[in-house]
Amino acid sequence: MRSDTGTRTAQLYISQMNAAGGVDALQGPATVKRANYLDYAKSLTAAYYVAGYMTPLGGGVSLVEQVVDTSTGTIILAATAQIQSFEDATSQAITIRDGIVAREQSKAQAFAEASAQATPAPLASNEANIGGGIAGLFKHRGRQTPDPQATAIVKPAKGIFVVRVGGSSSSVLLNDATSALYAALNQHYAARKTHSGGDAAKLANTICGADRNNTVATGTLSSKSVRRGFFSRTQYGFVLDVYTCFGARLAETSGDGDSVQSAVSAAVAAYVADHPQNG
């Protein structure tokens, strides 16, 4: 295993967690010792830090991860995974991000319960520290009270129907892409899911029905394997197609990313920039 594998894996985690949104992940310097992780995270006013270690296993590595709440010093999430590729590592990064977001959403009650727990025991001396790697991930603590100056997002009058994404990828990835497309569009427009799949241009009229002040969106997901150093990883591409209710193509944008969500988000961002009022 290369000496910089831990650092490179941490960099991948940071990229994927930030791309998924909801967290602000930073990498700590390799000079910070394990015994000082908590103090260092607190010095950055981080809400959590992620630590872990790797050991070679066959053609890949065994990865152990722990997410620690800096307000209590307790482990709030732990996971073990067998990593064979960057795609596997990407999945673990999203799992950790989802766990942190879920905990944040539990707010005061979860933090109160965590405060009563004891400080976690240190890792055994024979466990390999990946120094400068996953231990460098942090999430800054957000505001504890709402900003009184904040205003609600006003979405345009024209909404958007979301049709199931197509492509040669597995049904699981196509489902993920469809959910990501709905979530990304719904941040900017009044999005609605449909149970339709197939040629969106031909289905648009039926989907809209009498509700004509809408557009219809779908897309095509693709992927390719990219070799980089110790691991190979999967890169995703997404082409977003948006149609009027009459079936005319309104726009086509594309995006690439190291995860399905980041590729979809990139394509949606390009569409939003050109169609803030959705056509």
Q: Which helix (H) or strand (E) holds 265?
A: helix 260-274
Could you tell me if 49 and 41 are in contact, meaning their C-beta atoms sit under 8 angstroms apart?
yes
Q: Do 216 and 166 share a structural domain?
A: yes
Q: Do 131 and 211 share a structural domain?
A: no
- pTM of full prediction above 0.75: no
Residue 143 pLDDT: 44
Pair of tokens at residue 100:
């942190």
Rounded to the nearest 5°, which phi and psi values hold at 195? -100, 10
State the Cα–Cα distance between residues 202 and 200, nearest whole angstrom: 5
- Tell whether 151 is covered by a domain: no
Residue 239 pLDDT: 97
Residue 232 pLDDT: 66
Q: Which structural domain, as residue segments, surrounds residue 222?
A: 159-274
Show which of 89, 110, 140 is a domain's final residue: 140
Residue 235 pLDDT: 87
- Tell whether 163 is covered by a domain: yes
Q: Calculate the alpha carbon distances from 92 to 9, 80, 84, 193 in Å.
A: 11, 9, 12, 28
Residue 215 pLDDT: 96
Domain count across the chain: 2
Residues 15-53 as b/e (b if ≥16 CB within 10 A, e otherwise) read bbbbbbeebebbbbebebeeeebbebbeeeebbbbbbbb
CATH number, residue 183 = 3.40.50.10610
Hey, is 191 helix, strand or coil? strand
Residue 87 pLDDT: 62
Pair of tokens at residue 232:
């190979």
Q: Do 103 and 9 share a structural domain?
A: yes
Residue 59 pLDDT: 64
How confident is the chain (279 residues) per 10-residue block, as mean pLDDT? 66 80 80 87 87 72 83 84 68 82 66 50 43 43 45 81 93 89 92 87 93 95 77 85 96 92 93 93
Residue 71 pLDDT: 85
Residue 34 pLDDT: 86
Q: Calculate the alpha carbon distances from 149 to 107, 152, 187 in Å.
A: 21, 10, 20
Residue 126 pLDDT: 41
